[in-house]
Amino acid sequence: MTRYRKSEPPGSKFATAEGARRLREELDFLWRIERPQVTRAVQEAAAQGDRSENAEYIYGKKQLREIDRRVRFLRKRLEGMVVVAQPPDDTGRVYFGAWVKIEDEEGNETELRIVGPDEIDPARRYVSMDSPLARALMRRSRGEEFTVEVPGGRRTYVLTEIRYEPGD
């Protein structure tokens, strides 16, 4: 482990109320349900004798380490998290938590929500506020045109809708 830690991206401490709730639920599940079950399984495997060739014991210990690592990560994330539960005063501009519709040059519309990095979910159309697209959208108003640098080159979009409401 190094003494020098990477600095976190600017949006890494933000989460929507739904995102923070999901992280708390995951932490609670791991700590109160998953970890005790795995601990019991490790104790039962250890009672069988020789631990050096006991696959259930070795696997159980590995699971415990992974659970403990995730629990430490979640506790640290939740400790400094800024939960954004209210829409901004100026709902005519794009800020964290906004649902937006954008239209590309070919007329294809895409709807997405700007969320924190712990909430990214392509299936739900949640993009990180640190992504190039979200950064280009921030503080824009309906009807504004903007350009984003993507792997295939530059893409131009028009912001067609902004709304603030809880997630799916």
- What pLDDT digit, counting tens, does each position of 57-81 carry? 999 999 999 999 999 999 999 998 9
- Which CATH topology does 10-83 take? Helix Hairpins (1.10.287)
Tokens 């700590």 sit at which residue?
Answer: 31
Q: pLDDT grade, residue 6 (50/70/90)?
A: low
Q: Identify the pLDDT of residue 1.
A: 47
Of 23, 120, 116, 36, which is closest to residue 73 (Cα–Cα)? 23
H or E, element range at 115: strand 109-115
Residue keyed to tokens 């993507």:
150
Share of the chain above pLDDT 70, in %: 91
pTM: 0.79
- Is pLDDT above 70 for 23? yes
Assigned architecture for domain 86-163: Roll (3.10)
Give Cβ neighbours of residue 75 (< 8 Å, ≥ 6 apart): 27
Residue span(s) of the chain under CATH 3.10.50.30 come to 86-163
Q: What is the pLDDT of residue 21?
A: 95
Neighbours of 55 (CB within 10 A): 8
Report d(CA 56, CA 14) in Å as an integer.
39
Confidence band, pLDDT 50/70/90 cuts, at residue 53? confident
Question: DSSP string spanning 131-161?
Answer: SHHHHHHTT-BTT-EEEEEETTEEEEEEEEE
| CATH 1.10.287.180, the chain: domain bounds | 10-83
Q: Which two tokens stand for residue 34?
A: 């998953």
What percent of the chain is modeled with pLDDT above 90? 77
Look at residue 152 in the predicted model and tell me its pLDDT. Answer: 83
